[in-house]
Amino acid sequence: METTANLADDAFLEAFLTCQLPPAAFNHRNHLRVTWIHLQRYPLEEAIERTCAGIAQYAAHLGVPDRYHRTMTEALIRLMAHAGASNPSHSFEAFLAHAPVFTGDCRVLVAKHYSPELLARSEARCGFLSPDRLPFPS
């Protein structure tokens, strides 16, 4: 299979959702791309559900379901939406250029909204918990 960067969005999303990407493709950049595609195509709440379901399914497929963290994932989706990921005039690469903070350690972004204690709770891993520090921007 060609690299994920060379796949058109539809082919990339289909390969991701059917767990056809190589295990090495289960990485941060591709999670951002799945999120961006969903935010481009669906309202926020639907994009959240589709993205979270896809990442959880892929983690389970790879035998690493503990790598999926619902609160972290949903928090990043909400922050990406606020940063303009749903703007149809931005390609994925343009979005990353506009908001390069997402290409780094996103735990720093999430830490503004969540304490380590809340994120460590099993409920945060399995379901979404609201921020206990700063609320998300509206």
Q: Which candidate, 85, 94, 71, places its Cα nearest to that of 37? A: 85
What value does the mean pLDDT take over residues 51-63? 97
Using CA atoms, how far apart are residues 114 and 73, in angstroms rounded to an integer? 13
Indicate the average pLDDT of the chain: 95
Using CA atoms, how far apart are residues 24 and 11, in angstroms rounded to an integer? 17
Summarised one tens digit per residue, pLDDT across range 21-43 is 999 999 999 999 999 999 999 99
State the pTM of this model: 0.94
- pLDDT for residue 87: 96
